[in-house]
Amino acid sequence: MIISNRRLEGLPAYAVAAMAERKKELLAAGVDVIDLGAGDPDIPPPEIAVRALHEAACDPRSSRYAFQTGSTALRESIAHYMSRRFNVAVDTHAEILPLIGSKEGLAHLAFAVLDPGDVCVIPQPGYPAYLGGTVLAGGDPAIVPLRAENGFLVELGDLPNERLERVRLVFLNYPNNPTGAVAPIDYLERTVEVCRRHRIVLAFDNPYVEMTFDGYRAPSVLELDGARDVAIEFHSFSKTFCMTGWRLGWAVGNSAVLKALSKVKTYVDTGAFLAVQEAGAAVLDQSEMLAAELQQKMKERRDALISALANAGCNAAVPRAGMYLWIPLPHGVESGRFARDLLEEEGLVVLAGSGFGKAGEGYVRLSFTVGPERLREAATRFGRVLNRAVREAACR
């Protein structure tokens, strides 16, 4: 009998994938499904991206291997964006690495950095790729629960010194998925200092940097003094530019870490489709205008969902960034069951907090993936199931 290895068996099922299969079945049965699960908005990609993709795809040279060097135009556009947006100057060759979406870069980073048994700090609730890459690479995951009372921040200085000495890699993600938390500059400064002192690689996952509201401006960790000594930062075209299926992102920062990550990738891929990279370059050249348009749409969706949830009896915190609401459930209401009830009874897809790790239990995540009217309908459905769950919990 052929079986998978113990590392793979030790990983939990990927929550988004499981929900996607059940959603297909319900749609086939004629159910009116509203999907607020995966962070995959229904907004079309920028026209400039589509035009650039078409033009580049018509060039036979785009069909050749990209390898890790990729498109010179994309690397230059990334460098210009980093300079304009964050006042950070980067070398277009040594300090930039195109990715087939930031997810694969995050997961593969563990293979580049960790020896078996090395400790990797992983926030929970958090993006499952952090844990997946660490476990499959043979690393030792140190799970740090994110708590509302601490602003959902990972304080490396709170780890026991003997544990900290074994840490080789830490994943941070602000603006945060799924909590919506943002990181104060002084927090980032002390985190960088701890990483420098203990020679820890800091992987700063930053796909929501342009999805901010109410005057908030999210930073790059590379803006901080000394960050480039230890940090690489991950960016994605998926969220800011509604290009989720295009699979394009980049890593930027410490050249030695990027060189190691690039070497790993030479064994598992030969680079993103060059036509997609050319489209990414065209998009980044207009990033400020495109990001502002998306921010306005997402703010309208955020405000509509929060208002409708309040009318349905659920008061949610207002996030300053990201595309999610992280909603605490009443005591005694289990997140996985609640999410299943929403799907089966109301055709509403949300993600259970437990899908982001054990520390996410007691919450559910809702995404701003549909327009305001559908979000208002989703809130009504959410409220019906929540009220029933509260009554049932009180009777136990």
Does any domain span residue 395? no
270 and 299 co-located in one domain = no
Query: Looking at the domain assignment, is residue 240 inside a domain?
Result: yes
Do 297 and 227 fall into the same domain?
Answer: no
Look at residue 336 and tell me if it is in a domain.
Answer: yes
Per-residue confidence in pLDDT tens, the chain, 396 aa: 566 777 877 777 776 667 777 888 888 888 888 999 888 889 999 999 999 999 999 999 998 888 888 899 999 999 999 999 999 999 999 999 999 999 999 999 999 999 998 999 999 999 999 999 999 999 999 999 999 999 999 999 888 888 888 999 999 999 999 999 999 999 999 999 999 999 999 999 999 999 999 999 999 999 999 999 999 999 999 998 999 999 999 999 999 999 999 999 999 999 999 999 999 999 999 999 999 999 999 999 999 999 999 998 888 899 999 999 999 998 888 999 999 999 989 999 999 999 898 999 999 999 999 999 999 999 999 999 988 877 766 555
Q: Are residues 221 and 147 in the same domain?
A: yes
- Domain assignment present for residue 36? The answer is yes
Asked whether residue 38 falls in the same domain as residue 53, the answer is no
Query: Same domain for 17 and 132?
Result: no
Looking at the DSSP bridge assignments, the partners of residue 212 are: 321
- Asked if residue 323 and residue 201 are part of one domain, the reply reads no
Number of structural domains (the chain) is 2
Residue 348 shares a structural domain with residue 283: no
Q: Decide which of 287, 308, 342 is a domain's last residue.
A: 287
Rounded distance between C-alpha atoms, residue 365 and residue 42, angstroms: 17
Residue with token string 């899908």: 355
Quick check: 189 and 224 in contact, CB under 8 A?
yes
Q: For residues 348 and 246, state if they share a domain.
A: no
- For 134, 154, 201, 336, the CA distances from 142, given in Å and listed in that order, are 10, 12, 14, 24
Residue numbers of the domain that contains 268:
47-287
Same domain, 212 and 223: yes
